[in-house]
Amino acid sequence: MQLISETLEQAIEQLARLPGMGRKSAQRIAMHLLKVDNEQVFLLAEALNHLKTRIQTCSTCYNITDEDPCPVCASEKRETGLVCIVEEPKDVYTIERTREFTGRYHVLGGVISPMQNIGPNDIRIQELIQRIHGNEGIRELILALNPDAEGEATGYYINKLVSPLGIKVTRIAHGIPMGTDLEFIDDATLTRAFAGRQAF
């Protein structure tokens, strides 16, 4: 095969490193970018660079933000006593989309995972304890961790650590997703849904 363009190869190679992107999709995107306005490509490249040059971590909640403190922590409309514990910044993004949660967040930056050698000190649990001892007046933590072994273990650990401090710890409900037929639900979810049944 005659190498047509080293520049094109480089672009395809870099694009193919993105998650969910095969070499075919990377090729299609690179070919597409060759055809569009220069402006669009420069804007894309600039926007990607800005991800690294403009985004920082909020020193209160450890979510990503353009300015420290982040808009959630800076907002006077948010409850400061209620803190939602999440694993990653993308979880904040997902929860904010519902417009339902009115408190602040605490981004752990991971979950406890003995298999991957991630202990309590490798995620921001110490920082959470410091916040609780701080002046935010935190009285309730809502755990919004993924319902897997690591998420459970992390929730268990946090609960054990902060309960003695007089902090209420709750977790978001797991059960049947809205709009789903019962027959398509896996056993673990159904078991959880029964255990978590609520008064009608």
Q: How far is CA 115 from CA 108, 125, 149, 150, 186, in A?
A: 18, 19, 11, 9, 25
* One of 62, 68, 69, 72 touching its own copies (CB under 8 A): 72
Considering only residues 96 to 125 of the shown chain, the ones binding its own copies according to CB under 8 A are: 96-97, 99
If binding is defined by CB under 8 A, does position 23 make contact with its own copies?
A: no
- Binding of its own copies at residue 68 (CB under 8 A)? no
Stretch that binds its own copies, among 4-12, 129-137, 139-147, 165-173 (CB under 8 A): 4-12
Q: Rounded distance, CA 25 to CA 191, Å?
A: 40
Taking CB under 8 A as the rule, does residue 199 contact its own copies?
no
4 binds its own copies (CB under 8 A): yes
Interface positions, 33-52, toward its own copies (CB under 8 A): 33-34, 38, 40-52
Nearer residue to its own copies within complex by CB, 32 or 133:
32
Q: Please give the Cα distance from 66 to 56 (Å, whole number).
A: 6
Side chain identity at residue 127, one-letter code: E
Select from 68-76, 115-123, 138-146, 157-165 the region that touches its own copies (CB under 8 A): 68-76
Site membership for its own copies, residue 19 (CB under 8 A): yes
Minimal distance, residue 78 CB to its own copies, in Å:
8
Q: Of the listed pieces 22-30, 121-129, 143-151, 156-164, which binds its own copies according to CB under 8 A?
A: 22-30
CA distance 189 to 3: 52
Going by C-alpha positions, the residue among 78, 133, 82, 83 that lies closest to residue 108 is 83
DSSP string, 132-180: HHTTS---EEEE---SSHHHHHHHHHHHHHHGGGT-EEEE---SPPTT-
| Cα–Cα distance, 63 to 65 (Å, whole number) | 6
Contacting residues toward its own copies, per CB under 8 A: 1-8, 10-11, 13-15, 17-21, 25, 27-34, 38, 40-52, 54-55, 63-66, 70-72, 75, 88-90, 92-93, 96-97, 99
